[in-house]
Amino acid sequence: MLKMTHLSKVYRTEVVETYALRDFNIDVKEGEFVAVTGPSGSGKTTFLTIAGLLETFTGGTYHLDNLDVSNLDDNARSKIRNEKIGFIFQAFNLIPDLNVFDNVEVPLRYRGMKALERKERIMGALDRVGLASRAKHYPAELSGGQQQRVAIARALAGSPRLLLADEPTGNLDTQMARGVMELLEEIHRDGATIVMVTHDPELAARAQRNVHIIDGQVVDLAEDPRFHSAYVAAAGQVRG
C-alpha cells in the first residue's frame, strides 16, 4: 500500500544541509495499522507529510497503492490526496467558519461529487463517528474529542485507501483520547490501512506494528545495538 525505498529528504540552505530523512525504508501492507514512534525531531512528521504527498522528497522512491508518485505534478498529487488519502491532524484542523456538515464536505467538493451523493456520504461518516446530530454545529461549539471525531469523519467520507494520523490524541484528555483510539481501531477492523504517528507508547502498543524513527531512519529497536538496552527497559515498563 505504502512503500518507500532509500528515501531521503534534505533541507538545504546556503551553508548547511539537514537530512530530515535518510535512507528511509518502510513498507506498509494494505489493511495494516502501523504506529510510527520516535523522539521529537526524528522525522516522524516529515515522513507523514511525504507519505501524504504534502511534501516532495529529495531521493529514493515512493510507491503509493502501486503507483510511483516520485515525479507527479501538483495537480496529480492533489488528486491522489483527495481520492486515496485521509488525514487526521493533532490540532483537528477544522475550518472554523464552516459547520460540521460543511467541514466534512470539503474533500468531496474537490472531488466534484454530486450533491446527493455528498450528503449521503457526509451523513454516513458523521453517523459512524456518532455526530450526525451535530451536523449544523460549528467547531467552536464542540469539545476537543468531538472536533477530532469530525476530523475523522472528514477523512472517512471520501473512503480513502490510506488514513494518515498525526498525533490524533495529542490534544485530548485521556478519556477523549481513548474514545478516538477506539474509533480508529474500529475503522481499522473495517479494513482501512492506518499509519499513525504518536509519542505515546501506550497508543503505539495498540497498533498492529510499530515503526521507530530515529535521526531520519527507521530502526529496529530490538536488534539495533545502539538502542537495545533502552528498548528492553521501555518494553518492561509498558508490560508492567
The whole-angstrom separation of Cα 2 and Cα 195 is 10
For residue 174, the Cα-to-chain-centroid distance in whole angstroms is: 20
Which residue's CB is nearer to another protein, number 17 or number 73?
Answer: 73
Q: Least Å distance between CB 94 and another protein?
A: 8
Which residue's CB is nearer to another protein, number 91 or number 205?
Answer: 91
Q: Which residue shows C-alpha cell 499513525?
A: 196
Q: Least Å distance between CB 68 and another protein?
A: 20
How many H-runs (helices) and E-runs (strands) does the chain carry? 8, 10
The whole-angstrom separation of Cα 185 and Cα 33 is 8
13 Cβ contact list (under 8 Å, min separation 6): none
- Cell matching residue 125: 461518516
Give the three-class secondary structure for 55: coil
Q: Least Å distance between CB 53 and another protein?
A: 9
Closest by Cα among 81, 76, 91, 77 to 166:
91
Q: Least Å distance between CB 90 and another protein?
A: 7
Which residue's CB is nearer to another protein, number 42 or number 82?
Answer: 82
Residue 123: CA count within 13 A, CB half-sphere: 7
The whole-angstrom separation of Cα 98 and Cα 136 is 9
Sites of contact with another protein (CB under 8 A): 45, 49, 52, 54-55, 74-75, 78-79, 81-83, 87, 89-91, 93-95, 97, 106-107, 109-112, 154, 166
Q: Least Å distance between CB 154 and another protein?
A: 7
Which residue's CB is nearer to another protein, number 90 or number 193?
Answer: 90
Which residue's CB is nearer to another protein, number 75 or number 237?
Answer: 75
Which residue's CB is nearer to another protein, number 95 or number 234?
Answer: 95
Which residue's CB is nearer to another protein, number 138 or number 227?
Answer: 138
Q: Quickly count: other Cβ atoms within 10 Å of residue 217's Cβ.
A: 18
Q: Least Å distance between CB 52 and another protein?
A: 7
Burial 121-133 (b: 16+ CB within 10 A, else e): bbbebbebbebbe
